[in-house]
């Protein structure tokens, strides 16, 4: 008997809603932006700017977006704001695949956040590993995901993002969790493509793996990843598309610009996104704006990217 005995691997959720296997792998986009979240000077979600940014993503051929992820300042998103982010994105496009990130430390928090996202029209939720009291306790983390999956009315993607949480979900744990009918895939932002290879040799083709680290997208795709959900898609969407499709030159260009942008964190990504036409507003405190010198270095990197590949971004 293992730690997951007693949890449902198929059938229906505890809520009585049908499980998610009817959603086919072919319906999931291969690349999506981890969309930035613009805030007003008063610290509120700027709805008009958010709608504009969704439209920009669609104009860059994105068929889906992730809202409230790490790049979208997800740990700082408050009660009710997932409703706003999802519903306003849905109002821009009824066809857009919308994934909403869940940052919850407890089952109760996860229940509330998932309910918000699902009721607002999210197609799926991306659930981050808990980061405090059970971090590193693999069985407790797995049990958390299974209880959440038993409840969730929409498909779940696991989210392992060690640069943010300080914890990487182990491959054997992922393989066990993949047996649950509602857990459809994962976003792995650890940057180690070998984990993708290990998962794809173990799991069925129906389990979707998205690379979350821009430096790893080409190799991850070669090893079987379905695609990538990254911050870089806010400012280098076409270059990302080409890297996922196997273009080594595009991967090199992506590495160059993301090394500069990521050095400045979320605020750096927001500024880079503004160069692509997105409206960034402010960040939620305690995040701070970047310096003029940082802006200059990002602008130069963006100019180099567009000059090297005029048709790209």
Of 170, 227, 219, 228, residue with least CA distance to 199: 170
Q: 142: helix, coil or strand?
A: helix
This prediction's pTM: 0.91
Residue range 25-308, CATH number: 3.20.20.70
Cα(178)–Cα(176) distance, rounded to whole angstroms? 5
Place of tokens 């048709």: 311
- Number of other residues whose CB lies within 10 A of the CB of residue 44: 14
pLDDT band at 202 (very low <50, low <70, confident <90, very high): confident
Cα(99)–Cα(172) distance, rounded to whole angstroms? 25
| pLDDT per position as a tens digit, 249-285 | 999 999 999 999 999 999 999 999 999 999 999 999 9
Virtual torsion, Cα 240, 244, 250, 256, nearest 10 deg:
60
| pLDDT per position as a tens digit, 21-45 | 345 566 899 999 999 999 999 999 9
pLDDT score for 139: 95
Domain boundaries, the chain: 25-308
Per-residue pLDDT at 141 exceeds 70: yes
pLDDT band at 236 (very low <50, low <70, confident <90, very high): very high
């Amino acid at each position: 008997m293992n730690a997951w005995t007693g949890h449902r691997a198929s059938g229906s959720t505890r809520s009585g809603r049908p499980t998610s296997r009817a959603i086919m792998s072919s319906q999931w986009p291969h690349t999506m932006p981890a969309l930035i979240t613009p805030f007003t000077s008063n610290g509120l979600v700027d709805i008009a700017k958010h709608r504009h940014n969704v439209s920009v993503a669609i104009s860059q051929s994105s068929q889906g977006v992730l809202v409230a992820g790490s790049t979208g300042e997800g740990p700082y998103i408050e009660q009710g704001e997932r409703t706003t982010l999802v519903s306003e994105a849905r109002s821009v496009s009824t066809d857009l695949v919308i994934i909403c990130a869940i940052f919850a430390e407890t089952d109760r928090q996860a229940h509330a956040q998932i309910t918000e996202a699902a009721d607002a029209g999210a197609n799926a939720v991306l659930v981050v590993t808990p980061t405090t009291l059970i971090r590193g306790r693999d069985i407790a983390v797995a049990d958390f995901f299974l209880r959440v999956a038993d409840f969730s009315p929409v498909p779940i993607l696991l989210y392992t993002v060690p640069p943010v949480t300080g914890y990487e979900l182990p491959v054997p744990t992922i393989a066990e969790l993949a047996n649950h009918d509602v857990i459809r895939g994962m976003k792995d932002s650890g940057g180690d493509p070998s984990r993708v290879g290990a998962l794809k040799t173990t799991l069925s083709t129906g389990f979707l793996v998205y690379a979350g680290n821009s430096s790893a997208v080409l190799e991850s795709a070669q090893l079987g990843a379905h695609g990538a959900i990254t911050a870089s898609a806010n400012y280098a969407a076409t270059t990302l598309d080409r890297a996922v499709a196997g273009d080594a030159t595009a991967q090199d260009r992506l590495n160059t610009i993301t090394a500069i942008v990521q050095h400045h964190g979320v605020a750096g990504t927001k500024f880079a996104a503004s160069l692509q036409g997105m409206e960034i507003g402010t960040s939620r405190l305690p995040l701070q704006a970047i310096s003029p010198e940082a802006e200059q270095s990002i602008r130069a990197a963006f100019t180099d990217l567009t000059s090297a590949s005029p048709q790209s971004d």
